[in-house]
Amino acid sequence: MQTVSVADFLRQSFDFLIIGGGTAGLVVASRLAQHGQFTVGVIEAGGQVNGREDVEIPGYFGKSLGTEIDWKFRTAPLAEVGGKTLMCPRGKALGGSSAINFMTWCRASREDYDAWERLGNPGWGWDDLLPYFKKSETFHPPSPAVQVEKDIRYDPDAFGYSGPIHISYPSHIPPRQRLWFNTLNSLGVKTNSAHAAGSIAGVWTNVNSIDPRTMTRSFATNYCDLAGSNLHILTEAMVQEIVLDKTSEGYVASRVRFTHKDQKYVVSALREVILSAGTVKSPQILELSGIGNPEVLSRAGIPVKVDSPMVGENLQEHKSIHAIVEHDPELENSDDLFLDADYAAAARGQFARDRTGGFSHVFGSYAFVPLARHMPQETLDRLCSRVQALTEFSEEKKAILEERLRCPDKRGQIEYIFKLGVGPMAQRGKKLATLYQILQYPFSVGSVHVQPAPSQKEDPVIDAGYFKGPAGELDLEVMLESTRFAREIILAPSMSSVVKQLVHPPAGFYADDQVMRKWIIDHAGLAMHAVGTCALGGLAGIRGGVVDERLNVFGAKGLRVVDASIMPLQIGAHIQATVYAIAEKAADMILHDAARQ
């Protein structure tokens, strides 16, 4: 891995500069360097994390949150919950959030990506992205015996087999997996035998970004092995500004200002600057560079170079809520790794010896459920009429959002995950399990903007759009319906055979809709899947987004954005695999455009 000193970095003459060595940034940088013709520099705020146990060992997932390799962003105070703020974890490390996430690897349904294209972004539909999903991954199929024994079903043609990120089904699938399938099937949710092939709806065993050869996390730093000597990475460097030069044809990105160990530096890019700092940092860096809404920039004292009103707008995030139940004490539980020192020591030894046991895997019981399958038609019609009254969205977006609500089979409005364990809420003497429910298609949107008095040492202001306004009320109603279905899951005969009692929320709260609404608002969190703040503009251009279909920033030549922030609409899936596909596609576009120059 070509990490270099600041002196060596400044000696280079770079064709391309990538801001951010995270999930997308390392993909783009490595693919451009792999080409052989270009010298590529990466400026990353964090450091190297390969070899850290809290990064590489699957059973430690979540342990790195809140550490020095997490930006530890928090939302602005939320009026809806008395000024409380919510965590917005993001990876501050080489590898970005792929180094700290929960290793979930899934694709959204075909219609979610086709919706991007419908908004006027040619080349961003399912058929266009599928080759790039495959290009990013090496799928390791389970053995035929395990497939039969654990009832693992998938479409082998949907996966890639030669990419840098190694993905696999869980090495250990406990008996509760059959319980989960039986429960959802009994409620009308079918088993999905091809969950990576264009429809995510149903119940299935999840794939993870875990290399089964070593049973360790597979993440974006794997891409660096492709790059050779043309890739130069500077870590622990903080970008302050993209320098835009005024020409007769407008502004051109030419240089990047950054600090490293409190010293200021400037480095040039001969061809392009590529911003891959993520949904939170990318809009902040654009605004610090003079690209954004004039009102926002004026409050921050930043001269306007490009009037781009959608920079930092359109923030969309999955909302998560969970119920906690007490379960049969005979069932294994991931909390034992943290509550029982002897058990944990034995499991750690087992992992060191043969890469098996509790530290070798993460949870895998997933279901994506269309609300239209169990929501009363009258309720569905009422919610859809409210979608059409929203002023936040164009007519095209409102049509897509209503289609998502009405879809009975191909997309899941709500994701449910069942996990034996509760993490930080674990209690000695009790075996607790968690049923997560995650809103996939939020109606509410928020924003990310530079502080009124800008400083690179200050975090941007994150307005989560938390249950705010008519759109937030729609989110709340959808989550209310999903909470009712969560209760059905808990009380289903298959599940109730092991669930002893509901712990949180209390069982009686389901009787009162107002009590349920308040509980949802008070306890919902963000799911670490923020997108949209530098979105594809589509037919509306700069008034509808920040980048064109080739990810060029409107109004600034030689500057692109490549990360989750370019998604114009949230998808119904965990976003990791999609970010890799976006970056793979972007690298191909950049190389194609460079060949034409």
Q: Alpha carbon 468 to chain centroid distance? A: 22
- Cα 372 to Cα 20, 376, 381, 476, 482: the distances in Å are 40, 8, 10, 16, 11
Three-state SS for 474?
helix
CA dihedral 439, 442, 443, 448 (to 10 degrees): 140
Asked if residues 507 and 323 have their Cβ atoms less than 8 Å apart, the reply is no
d(CA 6, CA 4): 7
- Distances 438 to 123, 192, 412, 595 between C-alpha atoms, Å: 29, 19, 10, 43
Strands, E, within 444-508: which ranges?
447-449, 461-463, 499-504
Q: Are strands 250-260 and 263-275 parallel, antiparallel or unpaired?
A: antiparallel
DSSP code of 143?
A: P
Exposed/middle/buried for residue 395 (C-beta within 10 Å: 0-12, 13-18, 19+): exposed
Q: How far apart are CA 477 and CA 90, in angstroms?
A: 29
Annotated catalytic residue, options 322, 327, 449, 574: 574
Determine if residue 239 is labeled as part of a ligand binding site.
yes
Task: Give the H or E element holding residue 543.
Answer: none
Separation between Cα atoms, residue 126 and residue 557, nearest integer Å = 28
Tell me how far apart the alpha carbons of residues 556 and 536 are, in angstroms, rounded to a whole number.
Answer: 15
Pull the structure tokens for residue 306: 């490009």
Catalytic residue check, 574: yes
Instruction: Collapse the DSSP code of 98 into the 3-class scheme (helix H, G, I; strand E, B; otherwise coil) and give the result.
Output: helix
CA 445 – CA 466 distance, rounded (Å):
8
The Cα–Cα gap between 9 and 2 comes to 10
Cβ atoms of 586 and 561 within 8 Å: the answer is: no
- Helix or strand holding residue 413 (H, E): none
Classify residue 357 as exposed, middle or buried by CB count within 10 Å of its CB (0-12, 13-18, 19+): buried
Instruction: Give the tokens for residue 496.
Output: 């109730």
Nearest to 321 by CA among 411, 434, 430: 434
**Which residues are documented as binding site for FAD?**
239
Annotated binding site: 239
Catalytic residue list: 529, 574
